[in-house]
Structure 1
């Protein structure tokens, strides 16, 4: 029996469905039962799941705080730091587990958003240390940890912090595993928006795709299965040419030209790109085996960077422009500096 700890933030029924699907897909590959421990609470911030020592490492104080709800307008929930760590994680530490999966992030779109690139990876490190010690060394010190990158929320031009949280979920690398978050794996969910979901598109009812993508990561990272593709295409460089910008990916891609809603290019006189006003939408003009060419914007300033899917709700269902060559895994959102030819 393989044990796997699940501790996300999500609506209960959808979480159970996601958890069950993850175990079922994994069982189909492994051919032996998968034990699942479900520990969750909807609408919660990462601070509630973190120990005091983890919070201290990110300069966060133990406190009581309000978190704005993403489900009900003008509603907030009061939380204490470490309350769910104390109540729902610490009592499990003497168990032997083989890994964890996580589905959380939206509560931090409005609370300590800019600290999430520290608080989330540090929480993972702290859980690993605590489970290893609590189980007498039977849980691996660096057990695998999988997570779902946030889906969508508002289908509008408003920004709700989701684009930043998606980036911070990867410790600002854009992909996982990475140098800061080793032995981790991520399922991209930005292309599965669900306007019909009773809990909003944050929690799409279609959990099959999300669970399947996360299982691919578990097979490759947690179980060491060879030749399992679990990451969508990610850019290795962006180069400024005469009339366009060439973006090269780390693998073959399945891409289609678009009319300018997915890529944006930063034009800046002061070499900074913090303001959204400096980003201009550009269309994909041409696609190759492992690259796309986007238009060069008309601007008098320096062309500094390019970003992709940098809005709350960029795509319709499975209709983002760039996927893996087999069409299964979407390229995640990214931001990248542009170099001259």
Structure 2
């Protein structure tokens, strides 16, 4: 029973599958050679992350496939409906990386609120000669406590973001067409907790009232969710965080709003043209950047590996 984990798999998942008798292949096969490799080695399970595309052509070329799995939340690099029409199981790990992505949102938020994305660039270059000037230019940082965070998309990740925000003493508002109310359990170190119910609002209301706007929605098939029109409705000095999918925020409109001061800073983990983000985005002093690493924590990768292994064993009835 051979499994091709073409974008890698955490050792926890490899171990859990190996002990059940699976052979896990983690060799990276180029996209154009995947079909030949799968057919040559009679592989029934293909596991991917974001890098490998599993489209109709690949599915048709690999009649042995029984399971396609993605280590992560979104399935936009897999033709899910077509695969299922061919009686192929499509699985993912929607809850495994929620905490990791939510923590990255706040890593970026703290960075932008205190100008760290810019000071980390400039301090090594001119910190020894223009220390006082830099200190003065970064003197107007802001605190998160007491501010309003607007969460667009109140799925698992959005609710994790809300949980952290409430713990920081922030006001949380949210928009989601599919969720009317979310009950957030905020836990404390001594096993105490509080429950906070958040009623979702129309998107326009969230745009108007939030100090920080963070997006946790699927890839958009047609138009951007946040463009020039939506930014115009936001508060002056708002911050925008996108750790969901590239294309959700229209980057040209974002840069214009940053340059005009309408948007104070932005935080991006995902980009329109991955893996080749625009130089304008990469060099902008008001953007905190990371290379699509929302789920890239040791803990999340461990949970992803275990989750995929459990689902594969369940589908194939391997005990």
Q: Please indicate, yes or no, whether the TM-score normalized by the shorter chain is above 0.5.
A: no
Whose RCO is larger (CA < 8 A, sep 6+)? 2
**TM-score using structure 1 length:** 0.26
Q: Which has the larger radius of gyration?
A: 2
Name whichever structure is richer in helix by fraction. 2
Name whichever structure is richer in strand by fraction. 1
**TM-score using structure 2 length:** 0.27
